[in-house]
């Protein structure tokens, strides 16, 4: 979670890592490392080659039997069940309007490739039923940089109102769908500077009581909770692809999973404060 300090909002120094799901990831962030459970190589790694503290993130584009994979760091699962990118799924609550996104980076891209960073602020437009882009900062890093350099990306604003959501994504290859194997990108010590106050809340892991049964499951799954603060259910497969979503919460929800592939799924209960409780589901 990003802590607020005035006038700098500390984004992430990547000192805390999580291996509870069977792969290593910076705590509360998403990557393609879920694929390591199927023998794919990790495309995000913890490195002691850090700018500050003990650790930093290393993203690397790699080849695998699944296809070429870009190293990706993002605030939520990016890929939909159809294989398309859905940036709405990686948003987290945010109401500030900072002046700059700052971070330290190194880059070692393959020829013709570049590392990439995007930070986007949006607000839901109830009249049009779609998000409006409030502001954005982005950059591509095509040159090799062997020692950590400071990147300061100014936020460009397009609309006067405050945002309600934001997302961040970094990639070792500019084209995540067609990455260049071997490209590497390091990132550490990110912060948002200046502007109006706000909290960038990278999916807090909280404990909200809910039950899933049967588990393992075969044709139907029941979700049950007495928690009034849960506002949405989300189920993703082990690659992070969203397979089911429900934002009309009942105390008991029955899901038809008869057409789903066997394997491991993650069931998430999303709290009204954007906190998440996760449980593992086995389908066989």
pLDDT tens-place string over residues 16-53:
898 887 888 898 888 888 778 778 899 999 999 999 88
Q: How far apart are CA 193 and CA 5, in angstroms?
A: 10
Q: Tell me if the pTM is above 0.75.
A: no
Nearest to 200 by CA among 53, 40, 4, 68: 4
Alpha-carbon separation of residue 59 from 49, 118, 140, 187, 220 (angstroms)? 13, 15, 14, 8, 38
Asked if 194 and 100 count as a contact pair (C-beta separation under 8 A), the reply is yes
Name residue, tokens 């609309």. 159
Distance between start and end Cα atoms, the chain: 35
Q: How far is CA 209 from its chain centroid?
A: 23
Q: What would the pLDDT profile of 77-115 be if each residue is shown by its tens digit?
A: 766 655 556 666 677 888 888 999 999 999 999 999 999
Report how far residue 232's alpha carbon sits from residue 247's, in angstroms, rounded to the nearest whole number.
4
Q: Which residue has the higher pLDDT, 264 or 168?
A: 168
């Amino acid at each position: 979670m990003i802590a607020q300090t005035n006038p700098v909002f500390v984004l992430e120094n990547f000192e805390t890592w999580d291996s509870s799901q069977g792969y290593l990831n910076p705590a509360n962030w998403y990557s393609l490392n879920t694929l390591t459970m199927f023998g794919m190589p990790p495309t995000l790694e913890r490195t002691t080659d850090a700018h500050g503290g003990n650790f930093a993130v290393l993203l690397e584009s790699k080849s695998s039997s699944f296809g070429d994979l870009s190293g990706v760091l993002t605030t939520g699962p990016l890929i939909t069940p159809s294989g398309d990118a859905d940036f709405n799924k990686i948003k987290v609550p945010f109401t500030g309007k900072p002046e700059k996104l700052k971070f330290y980076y190194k880059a070692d891209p393959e020829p013709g490739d570049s590392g990439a960073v995007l930070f986007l602020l949006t607000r839901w437009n109830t009249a049009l039923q779609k998000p409006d882009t409030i502001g954005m900062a982005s950059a591509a890093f095509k040159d090799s940089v062997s020692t950590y350099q400071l990147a300061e990306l100014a936020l460009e604003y397009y609309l006067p109102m405050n945002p309600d959501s934001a997302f961040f994504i970094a990639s070792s290859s500019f084209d995540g769908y067609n990455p260049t194997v071997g490209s590497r990108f390091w990132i550490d010590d990110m912060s948002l500077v200046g502007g109006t106050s706000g909290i960038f809340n990278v999916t807090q892991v909280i404990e909200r009581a809910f039950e899933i049964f049967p588990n393992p499951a075969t044709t139907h799954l029941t979700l049950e909770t007495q928690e009034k603060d849960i506002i949405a259910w989300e189920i993703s497969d082990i690659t992070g692809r969203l397979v089911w979503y429900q934002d009309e919460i009942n105390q008991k929800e029955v899901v038809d999973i008869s057409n789903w592939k066997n394997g491991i799924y993650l069931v998430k209960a999303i709290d009204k404060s954007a906190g998440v409780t996760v449980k593992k589901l086995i389908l066989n």
